[in-house]
Chains A and B, each alone.
Chain A
Amino acid sequence: MSYLRLKAFSLPRTLGILENYLFILPAVAIFSIFYVYPFYEIFNLSLHDWNGISLTRQFIGLGNFKELAQDKIWWSSIWHAGYITFIALTFQNALAFALALACDQDIRMRKFYRIVFYIPPVLSEVVVGLIWQWILYSGMQDGQHIGLLNYFLNWVGMPHLVHNWLSDPKTALTCVAIVHSWKGFGWGFIILLAGLQTIDRQLYEAARVDGANSWTMFRHVTIPMMIPVLLVVVILTILGSMQVFVLVLSMVGQGLVYHTEVPVTRILASMTGTNQFGYACAQGIVFGLLLMVISFIQIKISKNTKQA
């Protein structure tokens, strides 16, 4: 077939290739304008001092990056995102794994659980953040707590636990992290359950014949078989949690100066707040590189464990 084509007339062949290009033209055009150009522009702008409005941009080399290195609020915002990620990695993933293990057995209502656990992940962060902001609300009226959680704590006789959850810098970030985990665990659950279900049941049978109890089976069959899936979940949890910011905006808003800042809210603040577009781009690049380094290390680790 290709032999015949080679011998064929060259003009129709060239026209055919041009016609083939037309198929990818719309995709390449949209991609070039809305991805490739901004990709170039983010590097270009990061080397300039520009307020986003004036016609001239001042080239300042690596000035934005130097300033960023000393920006304490910026580094603390990465620390905050790291804290949220830590809670997501431990609490959210442990919960997801425990639920997946429970649903991997032959139990009733398995479908029901699967449907319900994936409800929080389909809701938007704005909706989730605002619902929880209302539940955690710390205002009072006529000596009564308005928010549900504080009202409940008072009602069950634990008024000492009543707290200004979202307006106290000490608890606000933890609240965001827990709500983030609430929104995310159903996703981890579905993926881990799918992974568990690919494990050959005969492996468990063989282990049982050899006299293994549930714990040794879990330790020596389930865990080794799940390592690839667990790594995918870990990488995606880190990438997702580090970039969280809509939850912060919808739960805390601008209320707590600098105590709940995460990198993306800092980028937004540089852009829309102080009009430092070049600085915002520099922040975006540094943060993007950080995320790439993290995923790179993860992939390295996963390759090493596969070889071992």
Chain B
Amino acid sequence: MSILNISGYRVKSMAKSTLTHAFLILVALTCLFPLFWMIRSSLMSNETIFVNKSLFPSEFNFHNYFVAWTEGNFGVYCLNSLLYTASVVFGIILVSSLAAYAFSRLEFPGKNFFFFMFLAAMMIPLPGSFVPLYVLMNKIGLVNTRIGYILCMINVGLSLSIFLLKTFFDKMPPDLEDAARIDGCTKLGIWRHVALPLARPAIAVIVIFNSLNVWNEYILATLLLNDKGLMPLQRGLMVFQGSHSVDYPLLMAGLTIAAAPILLVYLVMQKHIIKGLSSGAIVG
């Protein structure tokens, strides 16, 4: 009797785990298939794409990537995206770590006021803020300039980065900084040679999330950059899509060019990304 019970339980739990896996695999396939279809379509020619619906193309046609990169201007878009992402992330780290260090370690009147100002910016949703921002940029002549877009994007990532870094500095034991101070190190020197190297884990999180954010940004790039030579990838893709008859294989090649770097970074860094996201969620 008890043996029967146990085997019954086993059968039941096996059926349950099979069902669970079937469900998970099905969802995983729905996540991956559109990407597969994008790459597959990018390898076809304009003639074959409309008639051939086999899963794997019979011939691999990398011509689209070449055309997208040169005639489609994606080489320029891609370099712009790289430039914007690198400079914005560098700027955010520099500016936010200086401010966060001061909020955590230094004393000055109005400290709480300034810190809560940055906090409030994270809490208040401002969906139409691009309108006055565009007006301002137009007024000071920063529309259609790289520096204008970079400064705007630094501001977008600033509040959260200051908040994350301040929380990190607060938890850090001040012993090393005290030692450096006794050795005659200046405040700026302590920030540069003690605090920043110790904050590496928090900086890594900020680098990853801001890179994803800048690389994928669309609306400010659309409003602020009209010149094709200045556009990042996301904006360039929509130029493509907006034309009269869409060349789908070419568009798919462009999409692959835009998605590949982010996927690569994600796959390499996924441990940190998921960890950062999870811990952030519990805190929030």
Measured CB to CB, the residues of A under 8 A from B are: 17, 19-21, 23-24, 26-28, 30-31, 33-39, 41-42, 45, 52, 95, 98-99, 102-103, 105, 107-109, 112-120, 122-128, 130-135, 137, 141-142, 144, 146, 148, 151, 155, 182, 186-187, 190-191, 193-195, 198, 229, 232, 239, 243, 245-246, 249-250, 253, 263-264, 267-268, 271-272, 277, 280-281, 283-285, 287-288, 291-292, 295
Which has the most chain B C-beta neighbours within 10 Å: A19, A34, A115? A34
Q: Verify B258–A135 contact, CB threshold 8 A.
A: no
Q: Mark B10-36, 1 if CB is under 8 A from A, else 0.
A: 000000010011011001101110110
Shortest B51–chain A CB gap in Å is 7
- Residue B267 at the chain A interface, CB threshold 8 Å: yes
On whether A113 and B28 interact (CB within 8 A), knowing A122-B262, A229-B281, the answer reads yes
Q: Verify B17–A27 contact, CB threshold 8 A.
A: no
Q: Verify A26–B98 contact, CB threshold 8 A.
A: yes
Which has the most chain A C-beta neighbours within 10 Å: B24, B94, B152, B273? B24
* Chain B residues closer than 8 Å to A37, beta-carbon distance: 132, 136
Q: Verify B128–A280 contact, CB threshold 8 A.
A: yes
- Residue B255 at the chain A interface, CB threshold 8 Å: yes
Give the complex CA separation of A27 and B154 in angstroms: 9
Q: Verify B274–A52 contact, CB threshold 8 A.
A: no
Looking at the complex, which one of A39, A186, A264 makes contact with B127 (CB distance below 8 Å)? Answer: A264
- Residue B225 at the chain A interface, CB threshold 8 Å: no
Q: Verify B218–A125 contact, CB threshold 8 A.
A: yes
Q: Verify B234–A126 contact, CB threshold 8 A.
A: yes
Shortest A256–chain B CB gap in Å is 15
Shortest B88–chain A CB gap in Å is 12
| CB nearest to A103 among chain B residues | B24
Q: What are 15 A-B interface contacts by the 8 Å CB criterion?
A: A24-B99, A31-B158, A34-B136, A34-B155, A36-B117, A39-B129, A122-B263, A126-B258, A135-B37, A182-B31, A253-B241, A277-B131, A284-B127, A288-B124, A288-B125
- Tell me the number of A-to-B contacts counted with CB atoms below 8 Å: 255
Q: Enumerate the 3 nearest inter-chain pairs by beta-carbon distance, A residue then B residue, closest first.
A: A284-B128, A194-B278, A124-B216
- Residue B185 at the chain A interface, CB threshold 8 Å: no
Measured CB to CB, the residues of B under 8 A from A are: 17, 20-21, 23-24, 27-28, 30-32, 34-35, 37-38, 41, 49-51, 53, 94-96, 98-99, 101-103, 106-109, 114, 117-118, 121, 124-136, 151-152, 154-155, 158-159, 162, 187, 191, 212, 215-216, 218-219, 223, 234, 237-238, 241-242, 248, 251-252, 255, 258-259, 262-263, 266-267, 270, 273-274, 277-279, 281-282, 284
On whether A19 and B277 interact (CB within 8 A), knowing A99-B27, A283-B128, the answer reads no
Q: Verify B136–A41 contact, CB threshold 8 A.
A: yes
Give the complex CA separation of A104 and B270 in angstroms: 19
Give the complex CA separation of A144 and B38 in angstroms: 20
Q: Verify B102–A122 contact, CB threshold 8 A.
A: no
* Chain B residues closer than 8 Å to A127, beta-carbon distance: 234, 237, 255, 258-259
Interface of A is mostly: helix
Q: Verify B125–A239 contact, CB threshold 8 A.
A: yes
Q: Verify B24–A24 contact, CB threshold 8 A.
A: no
Q: Verify B126–A284 contact, CB threshold 8 A.
A: yes
Q: Verify B259–A250 contact, CB threshold 8 A.
A: no
| CB nearest to A126 among chain B residues | B234
Q: Verify B281–A194 contact, CB threshold 8 A.
A: yes
Give the complex CA separation of A280 and B132 in angstroms: 9
Q: Verify A123–B262 contact, CB threshold 8 A.
A: yes
* Chain A residues closer than 8 Å to B237, beta-carbon distance: 126-127, 130
Q: Verify A134–B136 contact, CB threshold 8 A.
A: no
Q: Verify A23–B102 contact, CB threshold 8 A.
A: yes
| CB nearest to B237 among chain A residues | A126
Give the complex CA separation of A20 and B99 in angstroms: 9
Give the complex CA separation of A23 and B274 in angstroms: 31
| CB nearest to B127 among chain A residues | A287
* Chain A residues closer than 8 Å to B242, beta-carbon distance: 253
Give the complex CA separation of A19 and B274 in angstroms: 38
Known: A98-B23, A118-B277. 12 other contacts (CB 8 A): A20-B106, A23-B98, A26-B94, A31-B159, A95-B27, A113-B24, A144-B51, A148-B53, A267-B127, A280-B131, A284-B131, A292-B125
Give the complex CA separation of A126 and B125 in angstroms: 22
Which has the most chain B C-beta neighbours within 10 Å: A118, A198, A253? A118
